[in-house]
Amino acid sequence: MAGQVASDRKISEGLEHIRQAEKCLKTSLFKWKPDHDGASSEYTKAATCFKNAKAYEEAKECYVKAAESQKHMNSPFHAAKSYEQAGLICKENKELSEAADLMEQAAFMFQENGTPDTAALTLEKGAKFLEEESPDRAIYLYTKAVDVSEIEDKPRQCAEAAGKAARLLIKCGRLDEAVEMIKKEMEFYAQVDNYATICKLVLALVLLHLHRGDYVAADQSFKSSLSYPGFGESEESIAAEELLTAYDSGDEEKARIVLGLPLFKYMDNAFAKLARDLRLPEGGSSGGRSTGGEGQDDDEFAGGLC
């Protein structure tokens, strides 16, 4: 009962702040310009009241109205923060598509403010909301985050966003695009000398090309990567070479043994599943085509990082 009284009081306070905000925006014979500064302040106070009362729809609307006034004031940073707050409220309210829309608006305002690194992180937040519900849109936002970070020359941030996009592309079966995104990811990691991660990505690239049925591209990716420091001596290089040899000679049994190595099982989940589901070369003892995942349970790969 006490909680309901407190909630009702907060809602009343919020409504009063809205009245004050609307009063700020009114013009008259003696007041030619709306008071956007006062209005944004009142809308922000109203949003806080509504949020505390768990009136999330009203809180969201007030943050958006605050952002609109802040844009009129040429205050992109504050507008970005207001849009971001509105987006986070939508996320809590399970309105994930609208949450991502608002995060994208926030990112645009952060860019306008001259803080593209914050803009990229905001886009990534929005993308994260949509990974399950709308992976295609999440890929778009991650890709946009890569572009924004690249303008600012932030290779590590670019690599992380590109990696998230690549793994979603694989999940969506968009393998040609995943290949290009992983190549970008490798380029960014090369800029910060992270060759240990590049070794893993070369192996992932080989798996992707084999999944696409393109042995030549897989072999070319492997050979061109031998120029990366440390790759030639890495366990990823040895495994990739053995796998390619098995495919080149049509040795199904050899391919099965290589794909059964723990190295593949403990790759990122998206890559581990590629290894598990890879169609083996024809030949060998069984004389037929089969997948590397026969009789294996999905949970076996639950330990992989994603």
| Chain position carrying tokens 């694989």 | 170
- Is there a single domain that holds both residue 136 and residue 169? yes
Secondary structure of 51-116 in the HEC alphabet?
Answer: HHCCCHHHHHHHHHHHHHHHHHCCCHHHHHHHHHHHHHHHHHCCCHHHHHHHHHHHHHHHHHCCCH
Helical ranges in the chain per DSSP H? 2-25, 36-52, 56-72, 76-92, 96-112, 116-130, 135-151, 155-171, 175-191, 195-211, 215-224, 235-249, 252-259, 262-265, 269-277
**What percentage of residues in the chain have a pLDDT greater than 70?**
91
Local structure of 267: helix, strand or coil: coil
In a domain, 260, yes or no: no
pLDDT(300) > 80? no
- Is there a single domain that holds both residue 132 and residue 188? yes
In a domain, 235, yes or no: no
> Of 114, 131, 160, which closes a domain?
114
Residue 27 confidence (pLDDT) = 86
- Is there a single domain that holds both residue 100 and residue 126? no
Mean residue pLDDT of the chain comes to: 89
In a domain, 19, yes or no: no
pLDDT average, residue stretch 211-217 = 95
Which CA distances in Å does 295 have to 220, 277, 299?
32, 11, 12
- Is there a single domain that holds both residue 110 and residue 123? no
Residue 174 confidence (pLDDT) = 96
pLDDT average, residue stretch 1-23 = 86
In a domain, 82, yes or no: yes
Residue 151 confidence (pLDDT) = 86
- Is there a single domain that holds both residue 181 and residue 130? yes
- Is there a single domain that holds both residue 150 and residue 130? yes
In a domain, 257, yes or no: no
Concatenate the DSSP letters of all residues of 220-231 into one string: HHHHHGGGSTTT
pLDDT average, residue stretch 293-305 = 37
Taking a C-beta distance cutoff of 8 angstroms, is the pair 10, 53 a contact?
yes
In angstroms, the CA 53 to CA 94 distance is: 17
> Of 64, 89, 114, which closes a domain?
114
Its domain, for residue 81, covers 46-114
Q: What's phi and psi for 11, nearest 5 deg?
A: -65, -40
Q: How confident is the model at residue 53 (pLDDT cuts 50, 70, 90)?
A: very high
Tens-digit pLDDT profile for residues 67-78: 999 999 999 999
In the numeric block, which tokens belong to residue 296?
């294996």
In the numeric block, which tokens belong to residue 204?
């992932």
- Is there a single domain that holds both residue 151 and residue 185? yes
In a domain, 75, yes or no: yes
Tens-digit pLDDT profile for residues 124-179: 999 999 999 999 999 999 999 999 999 888 999 999 999 999 999 999 999 999 99
- Is there a single domain that holds both residue 105 and residue 126? no
In a domain, 213, yes or no: no
Question: CATH code at 140?
Answer: 1.25.40
Residue 298 confidence (pLDDT) = 41
pLDDT(267) > 70? yes
Q: What predicted TM-score, i.e. pTM, was given to this entire model?
A: 0.84
How large is the angle between the packed helices 36-52 and 56-72, nearest 10 degrees? 160
Task: Name the least confident of 2-6, 127-131, 279-283.
Answer: 2-6
- Is there a single domain that holds both residue 53 and residue 95? yes
In a domain, 137, yes or no: yes
Residue 292 confidence (pLDDT) = 39
- Is there a single domain that holds both residue 132 and residue 100? no
pLDDT(12) > 70? yes
Residue 234 confidence (pLDDT) = 95
- Is there a single domain that holds both residue 101 and residue 77? yes
Residue 231 confidence (pLDDT) = 95
- Is there a single domain that holds both residue 136 and residue 187? yes
Say how many domains are in the chain: 2
> Of 114, 137, 159, which closes a domain?
114
* The dihedral sign for the CA sequence 125, 127, 207, 182: negative
